[in-house]
Every structure is written in structure tokens, then in C-alpha cells.
Structure 1
């Protein structure tokens, strides 16, 4: 008899608890990948918005800059970055068991790998749906040191992608290093409000 009396009260309490329990936090990294996937197949023109020290990116000055969200799978997105006729660079973003990973695939015109390639890092925090940061990983640090690029061992790369409803939706790629003798900033911004013709296949792909 007691259980018949208590059952409605227990059910009511459970329902009340459900009503007041906060919803689970959204997966910001899944949302970030969804924003990128929404751009799949499209290409956009960009411009350099930050370059330090002065002259560090002189080889890009005056050249068309185009990013192309060329290939999208649930756990991997490939984004070639074309600088004029140079088709050597592809940003590769993948899911890992603990977050997201950014790698830079660099190729020569014959398709062979550049000596500086597949470097990057993993997310150390959940980030947001609009921005993810990728501190340099141990493998990249070792490779940089092996080829004399010690200045790059504190690199942090970031990728931003606006919500399509934002007033000025953009895609941003950024490289930065802390203040000091090796300080570095490279930031390129792509306007997502207007597509451009898809560029040719990147070298080696």
C-alpha cells in the first residue's frame, strides 16, 4: 500500500527535477566542424589583416589569396590555401579522441612532400563554435628543431568561422607567437559573403 501512495509523489518529484535541470552544454567543437562543413565545395577570396614582423609575408603581397573547402567528412575537413599560382598548402582539420587537430600539408609542384610539412597541433581547450586554437604539438616541435626552425616551437594556430547569420561572416586563419625576439603574427581573413571560382586541385592531391 505504501508504494502506491509514494509512487505519484516520486514521479512528481522526478518530473520537477527534470524541469529545473540545465540542458547539457553544446559541443562547441562539433558545432565548429558543422560550420566548416556548411562551406564545403565553396571557395572564397581573402586578404592579409595582420603581418608581423614587417616584410615577413612579402611573398604573398599583391597575389590573389583563395581558400577552398574542398573535402568534408564527419571527422576530416581539407582546406587548400592558394597563393596566386602556388598550390602547395592544405589545412587539414580532423577530430581526435580528445578534440580537434590542425595539420599543414605542404607539397611541391610534383606532388612530393616539402621538408616542412604535416606540422600543427591539437586543441588544448574546447574553444567555441566560432574559434579553435591549436598550440604546436610535440611532434612538430621535434621536427622544427631538427631542421633549424627553433623560432617556430611556440607557434599557436587559430581558425575562426563565423555563423552564417553574422553581420560580416568570415573565415580566418591565424598564426601567432608570443612577444619576444621570435614574435610572429600572420592573419588572413576570407569574406564568406561572396564565393569565387574553385581553384585547381592542390599539388599532390
Structure 2
């Protein structure tokens, strides 16, 4: 009978969505929860089109956008992102300095790195299990000075059926793609 309060607490935490490790360790951080959610979707493909800007001259306008969660390990998730037939981009989500990091890996057709590659940043502390934002890091600011104020946001809906990639620059919307799980 003395264990009933502990059992009730365990059930409450389970059904409230709290993430407590089995050994009683501290709850997972929002960054860990987000990474874990993406890992459970490993192998899933999402496709859609540009939601913003609506400018028909934008290089992504009218092209199918596809992101596939591939190569998932406890340290890294690789997400190839294609724009029509252009498969030169991969989003990398990985752990750096105990924080989640987003990098954009751009490659030429022969696999060699583009001159503008590996830009991104570490997740801010304001994220959740469904959304993380990544302000530009110092490397990005030196590589692409205009992108020094960039903030990339990745989000999932609760069901894991919609993935959104959103970019702000200078606090204003610059790009948004909403992709639906296939």
C-alpha cells in the first residue's frame, strides 16, 4: 500500500506526456525530446511546396520540396532536402557542446562540398518537444554576412505528419515550407 503514491505519480507522469527516464534520472530537455521525436520518424519522407515567399521568380517556386529523415543515430540525423531535381542539400541535426545543432550541408553533383556549406547554429533555449529554433552562429555570419541574423525553425505537428522549415532574417519571414508525411 505504501507504493501506491509512487505508482500514481508514475502514471500521472506517463499520461501527462512528461519524459522521465526509467532509472529516475532528470526529464529529457526540450531539445532531447525534439531529437527523439524526429528519430522515431527515421525513414519517413515529407513533401510539399514553398508556403512563403509566393514570388513566382523564387528559385523554389512551383517545385516539389522533399525531406527524408535518413541515417539516424543517437548523435545525428541526416535529412536530405531536395528542390525538384536538385538534391544538393542535406539538413544535419546533431549534438554539439551538449546542445542540438542544425547545419546545412550543400554539395555539388560529384559530392564535393559547395563553397557555401555547413552554415546554421545551435538551438536556442526557448524550444519545445515539437519545435526548435536555431539562430545563426559565428561561422555562418563570417561565411554569409547577410545571414548573421538568420533564425531557422524546424517544427513537427503532434501527429508527426507535418514538418515545417521556417527561416527569418532580420526578424522578418524569408522562407517557409510546409511538408506533409508521405
TM range (shorter): 0.7 to 0.9
Alignment of 1:27 with 2:29, yes or no, is yes
- Trace 1:1-205 onto structure 2 (pairs within 5 A): 25-51=27-53, 54=55, 58-144=58-144, 150-164=145-159, 169-179=161-171, 183-192=172-181, 195=182
TM-score, length basis structure 2: 0.80
Aligned equivalents of 2:110 and 2:28: distance in 1? 43
TM-score normalized by structure 1?
A: 0.71
Asked which structure has the greater RCO (Cα within 8 Å, sep 6+), the reply is 1
Which structure's CA Rg is the greater one? 1
Partner Cα separation in structure 2 for residue 97 and residue 129 of structure 1: 19
Whether the 8 Å contact between 1:99 and 1:126 is mirrored in structure 2 is: no
**Please, which runs of 5 or more residues in structure 2 have no aligned partner?**
14-19, 21-25
Aligned equivalents of 2:28 and 2:39: distance in 1?
17
Partner SS for 1:77: strand
The CA RMSD measured in Å over matched residues stands at 2.4
Deviation at 1:49, TM superposition (A): 1.6
